[in-house]
């Protein structure tokens, strides 16, 4: 199966997603937050952010490419990547609040609402 040249950005980030999930698995299985919290916790959050962002990006990009044909592939990639980063930051914020034991349903709703508001700002600029 030959992949068209215009889809290379998507497949490159799909490959990055698999590497990010592999890194997350290695951090999760091999690092102890009790033995070295200064390294393990930031690495866990960083690999979690990459994994969640790239996974959301992948599914969003493939859905955009399948159902929206009017725009270019790079337009879909930029929009999906932006939404993936916003979604990853929202998940990171929710995980941080949960780690500190202060996550409630309304704080989670505020974080998600801020993500929607940020995306609306980008969408409104077009």
SS3 at position 23: helix
Domain boundaries of the chain, sorted by first residue = 5-124
Q: How high is the pLDDT of residue 9?
A: 78
Q: How high is the pLDDT of residue 27?
A: 95
DSSP the chain: -PPPGGGHHHHHHHHHHHHHHHHHHHHHHH--TTT-HHHHHHHHHHHHHHHHHHHHHHHHHHHHHHH--SS-HHHHHHHHHHHHHHHHHHHHHHHHHHHTT---HHHHHHHHHHHHHHHHHHHHT-
Where do we find the tokens 């490959």? 15
Q: How high is the pLDDT of residue 4?
A: 65
Q: What is the pLDDT along the chain (126 residues), one digit of tens a residue?
A: 555 666 777 888 889 999 999 999 999 999 988 988 999 999 999 999 999 999 999 999 888 888 888 888 888 888 999 999 999 999 999 999 999 999 999 999 999 999 999 999 988 776
* DSSP single-letter state for residue 71: S
């Amino acid at each position: 199966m030959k992949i068209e040249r215009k889809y290379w950005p998507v497949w490159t980030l799909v490959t990055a997603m698999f590497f990010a999930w592999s890194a997350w698995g290695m951090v999760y299985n091999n690092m102890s937050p009790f033995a070295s919290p200064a390294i393990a916790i930031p690495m866990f959050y960083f690999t979690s952010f990459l994994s969640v962002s790239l996974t959301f990006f992948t599914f969003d990009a493939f859905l955009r490419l399948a159902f929206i044909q009017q725009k270019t592939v790079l337009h879909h990639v930029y929009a999906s990547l932006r939404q993936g980063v916003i979604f990853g930051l929202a998940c990171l914020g929710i995980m941080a609040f949960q780690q500190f034991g202060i996550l409630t349903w309304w704080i989670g709703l505020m974080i998600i609402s801020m993500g929607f508001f940020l995306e609306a700002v980008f969408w409104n600029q077009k």
